[in-house]
Chains A and B, each alone.
Chain A
Amino acid sequence: MTELLQQLINGLALGSILALIALGYTMVYGILRFINFAHGDVFMLGAFAGFYLAPKIALVLPLPSIAGALAVMIIAMAICAALGVLIERFAYRPLRQQPKLTMLITAIGVSLFLENTGQFVFGANPKKFPQLLPAYPLPQLGGLSFNSNQIVVIAVTALLMIGLRFIVLKTRMGRAMRAVSFNPEAAALMGVNTNVVISFTFALGSALAAAAGILFAMNYPSIDPLMGILPGLKAFVAAVLGGIGNLPGAALGGVIIGVTETLVSGYVSSTYRDAIAFAVLILILLVKPSGLLGKKEVDKV
């Protein structure tokens, strides 16, 4: 029983990370009907940003510490947000009138570029991510040993999601985002600057991916330039599972995939771990393509 609980917590932590990445996918898809293939690599860059920032921050703030960790995370999120905006501006925006396939291919190109330049610049070998938070030994509850890092992941994710919800529901920009995702032409006619909204969406999604990268690296301190590939794909599956374009769906999808993967890995076989997400994807696309919380899109003839 305690074993199960342990696995569930692990799964929830993993699911939180996937959820953060999935939110970025789903937001961009909601606004542009486009899958940003390069999103997983922003996750990777967030981790690397943290890696290179940590020693610099350590000169000013004590590390490991909460303040230091916060500083690293926030700056890394800012850097990746800027990067996301840049990518959109120069690689995707010129192609908005082109068929969707062109954008998809470009996104693949951006993804490959980030991964391979990363390998070139950072080196292909894994690096050890520095400790940002002091490890608090938690009291053993009935034989369970908790890692304080996992609690941090879940807690920070929850906080970020609350923040996101606030932005989307309560701010002007959030309303504009929802309007554009509903009907871009109408939104533009209503005076919404779609370009700004799109840039903001990319910034937001990239910031969340960066946060996910840092949280991930805090838990699994080995980072390498290809680390974003699998989590990126799994997070995409999570977004589809929840209903692509649907924010709570992305969060739900992330948690489901994270928990499922951890449970299967723990109880059935760890070697099939990576295939789980893809099997789920194929299943959901066959059974309910609009996802758990998504709406059906009718094709007008």
Chain B
Amino acid sequence: MSALLQLDKATIRFGGLTAVSELDLQVGCNELVGLIGPNGAGKTTAFNLITGVYQPTAGGIAFDGSSIVGRKPCQITARGIARTFQNIRLFSSLSVFDNVRAVFHLHLRGDVRQALWRGRAFEREEKSIADRVMELLEIFQLGRFRHEPARSLSYGDQRRLEIVRALAAQPKLLLLDEPAAGMNSTEKVELTRLIRFIREKFSIAVLLVEHDMQLVMGICERLVVLDYGLKIAEGTPEEIRQNPKVIAAYLGE
């Protein structure tokens, strides 16, 4: 089976700086891949390339068989890629419920006029959406917060909400950008369980950027290592752990 996500020598240059250089990256359906590397290696930039925030200067990016180069972020999300952010970017003034509900507009069958007319079809669809939102929130134990403004949640809960929100898009590929940042060890264990659970229940592929080596090694099937925008290694956690180039990159030479 060809890869769900395929980057072919994807490159992006900002003026004189090549942030990502000729990156070949694949993620298969239902795979759990980790993208690691020292700070500034270009991991978040790679995410931004995949999600359409940046356009590659050269190279190709294909998802589910077709190229997504030149597509706007909202179009890419509609095709099945959803993400979380390094610094949590929730819709701060919306409630927990609405943060998730807003994403369900992707699955709306009615259109704007329905919202204005407010007939029975509209009410039915809104109810269906509300049920699905609550379902998602309950799975992740956020249901009781549904009316709270998103920004009033604890840090850990906000991170979880961001993931739930991404899942509301019903993606085939979930990009998680440092989901464990700022968490203590208990929360990280919980997060590991969560990611495994998501992958099982929703049968999606996950591409994970993370600095916590223990978490990454423990959960990823395959790792890709970046340094200064270049891929320097790829393989199973065992292989990567022993790879001298990777060790050098992290320890600095």
Answer yes or no: A and B touching, Cβ < 8 Å.
yes
Residues of A within 8 A of B (CB): 298, 301
What residue of chain A has the Cβ atom nearest to residue B86's Cβ? Answer: A301
- Chain A residues with CB below 8 A from B85, complex form: 301
Please give the distance in Å from A298's CB to the nearest CB on chain B.
7
Q: In the assembly, what is the distance between CA of A39 and CA of B48, in Å?
A: 40
The CA of A301 and the CA of B53, in the complex, are separated in Å by: 8
Bound complex: CA A298 to CA B44 (Å): 15
Contacts A/B (CB < 8 Å), 5 sampled: A298-B14, A301-B44, A301-B48, A301-B53, A301-B85
Q: For the side of the interface on B, what is the size category? A: under 10
Output the least CB separation between A44 and chain B (Å). 38
For the complex formed, measure the closest distance between the CB of B159 and the CB atoms of chain A, giving whole angstroms: 17
Give chain B residues whose Cβ lies under 8 Å from the Cβ of A298.
Answer: 14
B interface SS class: mixed
Within 8 A of A (CB), among B3-18: 14
Residue of A nearest to B73 (CB): A301
Main SS at interface, chain A: loop
Contacts of A301 in B (CB 8 A): 44, 48, 53, 85
Q: How far is the CB of B82 from chain A (nearest CB, A)?
A: 15
Nearest CB in chain A to that of B85: its residue? A301
Q: What string of 1s and 0s marks CB contacts (under 8 Å) between B29-62 and chain A? A: 0000000000000001000100001000000000
Residue-wise interface mask of B (118-149) relative to A, using a CB-CB cutoff of 8 A (1 in contact, 0 not): 00000000000000000000000000000000
A301 vs B86: C-alpha distance when bound (angstroms): 9
Minimal Cβ-Cβ distance residue in B for A299:
B53
Report A-chain residues with C-beta under 8 Å of the C-beta of B14: 298
Query: B48 to chain A: which residues have CB within 8 Å?
Result: 301
In chain A, what residue has the closest Cβ to B54? A301
- B155 to A: closest C-beta gap in Å: 20
Interface string of B72-87 (1 = CB under 8 A from A): 0000000000000100
C-alpha spacing A298/B14, complex, angstroms = 10
Contact residues in A for B44 (Cβ distance below 8 Å):
301
Chain B: minimal CB distance from A102 (Å): 15
**Nearest-CB residue, chain A, relative to B14:** A298
* Docked pose: A298 CA to B13 CA in angstroms: 13
A290: min CB distance to chain B, Å: 13
Residues of A within 8 A of B53 (CB): 301
Q: How many Å lie between the Cα of A301 and that of B19 in the bound state?
A: 14
Cα-based distance from A301 to B177 in the complex (angstroms):
11
Chain A residue nearest to B45 (CB atoms) is A301
Q: How far is the CA of A301 from the CA of B43 in the complex (A)?
A: 12
A296 to chain B, nearest CB (A): 9
Find residues 200-239 in chain B having any chain A CB closer than 8 Å to their own CB.
none
Q: Which residue of B lies closest to A298 (CB)?
A: B14
Report the minimum CB–CB distance from A60 to chain B (whole Å): 59
Q: How far is the CA of A301 from the CA of B48 in the complex (A)?
A: 8
Shortest distance between the CB of B238 and any CB in chain A (Å): 33
Measured between C-beta atoms, what is the minimum distance from B1 to chain A in Å? 31
CB of B81, distance to nearest CB on chain A (Å): 15
B41: min CB distance to chain A, Å: 16
Q: How far is the CB of B99 from chain A (nearest CB, A)?
A: 19
Nearest first, the 3 A-B pairs at minimum CB distance are: A301-B53, A301-B48, A298-B14
Q: What is the minimal beta-carbon distance from B83 to any residue of chain A, in angstroms? A: 10
Q: Closest approach, in angstroms, between the C-beta of B176 and any C-beta of chain A?
A: 15
How far does the alpha carbon of A298 sit from the alpha carbon of B45 in the complex, in Å? Answer: 13
